[in-house]
Structure 1
Amino acid sequence: MMGSPEKAQWPAAGLDLARLRRIGWQPLPFVEFVVKINSRCNLACDYCYVYEMADQSWRDQPKSMSARVFAESCRTIAEHARRFALPAVNIVFHGGEPLLVGHRALDGFARQAHETLEPITAVRLGMQTNGVLIDDAFLRICARWGIRIGVSIDGDEAGHDRHRRYRRGAGSYTDVARGLDRLVHGTYSDLYSGLLCTIDVDNDPLDTYEGLLHFNPPAMDFLLPHGNWTTPPPSTGTAAGRTPYADWLIAIFDRWYDAPRLETRVRLFDEVIQLLLGGPSHSESVGLSPIRLAVFETDGSLEQVDALKSAFAGAARIEAAAAGNPLDDALWHPAVVARQIGIEALSDVCRCCPIHNVCGGGHYAHRYRAGTGFRNPSVYCADLMKLIRHVEARVRADLPTSAAG
């Protein structure tokens, strides 16, 4: 492909796989699989990295995954699990909007996953949905197969409807709230895994947090909008002295941290605190722990995490293996290796930074710069620095003197 950026940029160019093999480094097998059972969406969120950014490959995908392709994907996962003796795997039904496949297809997919994988490994099922189609029939299916449900919602009604609209312009909050009420207040509340909110610094942070708390989430997470040095995010903090995302998150952190009781878990804050105290990370957003996730598109092709589609067309692509199990082969794909080698994937600037073990260079997709690739600091570098330093100061102030030292 003439002018293809992925061939000339790090990690495709510059990551020495031969050296890693010589020193005995081995990639870790995949344990989490995002399965795109539907490639279209019933909303038109203006910040969506799948439909609104650089990579438009969704247009070439089948609208829904067929039963045959899903069964083959399960067999591929099962073979990978058997080879590496994995005790458990996570499968997340995703899209687009996964509930667009309908009740019968979702039930069939869940049944197939259990029948194919349970003889080999424990399988945990989850789903990330925009929530507007949640009904009692879907909830009964999720209860039957133990499908944990995460819902994407951006706070209160005004904040949510700023971006998460239907194609004709109407906001989706009322429908999302109706679906969440069924999940939260009915007999299926044990399926509720939490809420996912994309940050808009034009929305009041405390109104956003309180709007999410209204639905009694067991957990929530805040996502920085995907962008990079070539295509900066909105309200970017790259200008000297500006840290709009840190300021927004700090307001919520202080409200959350100072609450008289734990109201909910906030994944980003939990991860930063754990890393500051010397623990491991379990997030793509911070820390240096290996990423062990692969994506199956609706045609069965294998890709990396969708967020990379915000960088350039083809950034998430994994070339198909000529033979054998494609997951096994993908473990040595340069971009997969880059997300498992920790500090070696960081830029020189990051490696010299005193908080690189906590920040981890930020989300991999946010490091991209055309011409050099992904070996750069995060486009949110200043925001991450300010947020982490603030959390560190608050936590250390509450530690016993001996521990704080």
Structure 2
Amino acid sequence: MKDVSPDDPSWLSPRLLAATILTGLVAGLGGMLLGMLLHAVQHLAYGYGAAGIGHESFLQGVTAASGSRRVVALAICGLAAGVGWWLIYRYGRPLVTVDQSADDPDRRMPPATTLAHAILQIVTVALGSPLGREAAPRQVGALAAGRLSMLLRLPAQQHRLIVACGAGAGLAAVYNVPLGAAVFVLEVLLGSFAWPAAAIALATCCIGAVVAWAGLGNDIQYAVPAMDISTGLVAWAILAGPIFGSAAHGFRRLTAAARRNAARGWRLPVACLLNFLLIGVLAIYLPALLGNGKGPAQLAFDNELTIAMAAALAVLKMAVVATTLRAGAEGGLLTPAIAIGAALAVVLGGMWSLAWPASPPGAFAVVGAAAFLASSMRMPLTAIVLIVEFMRVDQAFLVPIILAVAGSVGASRYCAARAARLAAAPDDAARNAS
């Protein structure tokens, strides 16, 4: 998005102002309804808490449920995912991504197909899918914003901005992170921090978050105990950052390959059913595997994971995310990345504490979650803001978080460049030989 002069009157038009307000309202309402649907399905599937927002977490509810109930819930998840996405791909209109809709006003997101796609993501995550729920509210918000833009006849540049802000407002609504969602819009979707984009992104994301309070409450995502920052934690962040970056690069390649080779046609329902049944069997012994990863991440932040359990969760979470994408299911990777980064940090922090016992495991988990998220989704600024906003940690945590993110992003980009050179080497050799 090109920088715009502050004196350009087109950015102060009543139509754009109306689009900004309406986008925040509709995207916030959509995110709120999706969040309420998630909690309702979780309650029905595992029989805990109230049908709305309860005090009992998903992990507590899953742990209290019997092993057979977990398997049955995942079998239903496999059937819903397999049959649902097969029907969408077979009979629905071709899906249009948020980026495609923003870049080309003529490429409209099909309402019925997009809504079915988003609702199916929420339902499967609620039933125990290991993928994230953030993609669905982004899609619904972008869909609403695109329709409003066409109705108000906004020019192409403003259309792109409003669609991106709709996606951000949906994210802000479902996670109650208005600032993090606005930075996501600017850093990831628009690639610009020009003042019109910043002002409108902040406005829509704040409106979306406030609207969602009516149904989801004004709560933080992770309750983190008070922890002090130590010199040892800062030193660990500097040394561990590149490890998180390398691991995140591997995770990106793993999930990208799984999506490229995802099952389609008749294989999709079969693969989904087998995949989720396997996850259900694993969940008999390890219920923390179920869901998008918020439960195990909270355990890491609460200092309740041993090194062995954290290592098992990190490896198995990566594995089930990849197999679920390979089976053809859809969902986000934001919360799974936080869970994997937090679990990996408990392992690395536990080893570090043998030599320098200065910080609790939860402190390492907070820093590691930010470092892994930043590189796995290629959004360093957004990751820093989201982690701080998710947990409301002390401002002093910014020092080790920023240092770890810097090292992580540097290592991840180095790994990506090296992989690109290695991939190009056979082509270069073939050209030289000819």
Q: TM-score, normalised by structure 2?
A: 0.28
Give the structure with the larger helix fraction: 2
Q: TM-score, normalised by structure 1?
A: 0.29
